[in-house]
DNA sequence: TAAAATGGGACTAAAAAAGTACTGATTGTT
DNA sequence: AACAATCAGTACTTTTTTAGTCCCATTTTA
């Protein structure tokens, strides 16, 4: 329904790990990759992106590493997805839907009609995502895993 | 941010066209494809899927075609996306995030933690989408295109 | 200056999306 | 009954995106 790439999934796992530790502590990619059971190069890639987008800060050199750029309750799900998912589609109207051929003007109009609807939906979804913070995600983790034990042994 | 395939985009355009006409009227694929400026085979593909998922009804033979299976205000954005986007990812936890290698048990645990958060988010998004109907989409189209004219000539 | 980190890309392979084509099954009209 | 219009199913090809790896440059500290 709402699709997310693995890349973003990895990012969340890495960020959650940092969010569980004290704020000022830095974490090397090696450490983070181990924690998340991710191949090192992949973790590097994700973290570099997060750094460039300003969600984490980096410190080079010996004993360097990454840490959250701001407290976990001020990093939203929307921030994370925006950062990792790349500039995204949905409301690109004609440009995106264009099959690249004849019909030039009229085509646009047909699609633009629909695009108004999608813009609206897009806003709704964004608002929903803005209301979930990284801190919430970590909190949910405990709530739910607690529940889990009571329910089943699987 | 929230990514939708072109396929779904086409579906919306086709459904909106039907929603603008009287409910009982049937529309041939040829007609719909022309209206939407879509290649015929593509429109066929989309409509077949919509029919199989029960969003539209089909009538074979001469003068046959498609029509909405229920009134436009009872078809939600969620219905449409579910039908066209295929079973979707997001909350598939380990199965999806698995890099397919060593780390078997522990890996799961790391990702499942994050998945609780995503499940929650997924629910929020779904609710948002359930509140937008095909009729709303058509309505938005007019509202906004009215605005548009006043603002700019582009 | 050597070692431990991140930074920025380029590159490859696998998977998914986008688009087309073909063949079969109904149904209404003559 | 034959024909033509119309949907149904599925297989196939091409293109685009994802996923993952690698290499070399830069920064920092001991």
**DSSP assignment of A76-136, as one string?**
BHHHHHHHHH-S--SS-HHHHH--SSS--HHHHHHHHHHHHHHHHHHHHHHHHHHT-BHHH
* pTM for this predicted structure: 0.83
Nearest to B32 by CA among B57, B60, B67: B67
Q: Residue A74: is its pLDDT beyond 90?
A: yes
Q: Residue A27: is its pLDDT beyond 90?
A: yes
Tabulate helix, strand, coil % of chain A (nearest 5): 65, 10, 30
pLDDT of residue B17: 95
Beta-carbon neighbour count of residue A121 at 10 Å?
A: 25
- To the nearest whole Å, the CA of A140 is away from the closest chain B CA by 6
Tokens of B52: 């199989």
d(CA B32, CA A73): 48
* Phi, then psi, of B133 in degrees rounded to 5: -100, 165
Q: Which of A47-56, A84-93, B30-39, B67-76 has the lowest mean pLDDT?
A: A84-93
Q: Residue A101: is its pLDDT beyond 60?
A: no
Please indicate whether, in this complex, the C-beta atoms of A113 and B143 are within 8 angstroms of each other: no
CB A72 within 8 A of CB A135: yes
Nearest to B97 by CA among A39, A1, A10, A154: A10
Tokens of B22: 């009287």
pLDDT of residue B133: 95
What residues does A76 pair with on adjacent strands?
A133
Mean pLDDT, rounded, for A91-119: 53
Distance B104 CA to D23 C1' (A): 30
Each residue's pLDDT, cut to its tens digit, for chain B (154 residues) gives: 567 888 999 999 999 999 999 998 999 999 999 999 899 999 999 999 999 999 999 999 999 999 999 999 999 999 999 999 975 545 444 333 344 433 444 444 556 667 777 777 888 788 888 999 999 999 987 776 554 433 222 2
Cβ of A61 < 7 Å from strand D? yes
Tokens of A68: 């959250």
Judged by C1' against the alpha carbon of B44, the nearest nucleotide is D7
What residues does B56 pair with on adjacent strands?
B68
Tokens of B61: 């033979």
Q: Does any CB of chain A come closer than 8 Å to the CB of residue B68? A: no
Residue A65 — left, alpha, or beta (φ > 0 → left; ψ -120 to 50 → alpha)? left
Please indicate whether, in this complex, the C-beta atoms of B116 and A140 are within 8 angstroms of each other: yes
Report the Cα A49 to chain-centroid distance in Å: 11
CB A12 within 8 A of CB A132: no
């Amino acid at each position: 329904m709402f699709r997310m790439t693995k890349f973003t999934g990895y990012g969340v796992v890495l960020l959650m790990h940092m969010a569980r530790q004290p704020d000022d502590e830095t974490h090397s990619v090696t450490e983070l990759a181990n924690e998340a059971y991710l191949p090192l190069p992949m973790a590097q890639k994700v973290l570099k992106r997060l750094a460039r987008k300003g969600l984490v800060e980096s410190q080079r050199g010996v004993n360097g590493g990454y840490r959250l750029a701001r407290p976990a309750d001020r990093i939203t799900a929307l921030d994370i997805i925006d950062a990792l998912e790349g500039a995204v589609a949905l409301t690109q109207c004609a440009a995106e839907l264009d099959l690249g051929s004849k019909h030039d003007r009229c085509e646009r109009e047909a699609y633009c009609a629909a695009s108004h609807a999608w813009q609206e939906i897009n806003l709704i979804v964004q608002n929903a995502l803005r209301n979930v913070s990284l801190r919430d995600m970590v909190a949910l983790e405990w709530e739910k895993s607690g529940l889990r034990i009571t329910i089943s042994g699987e």
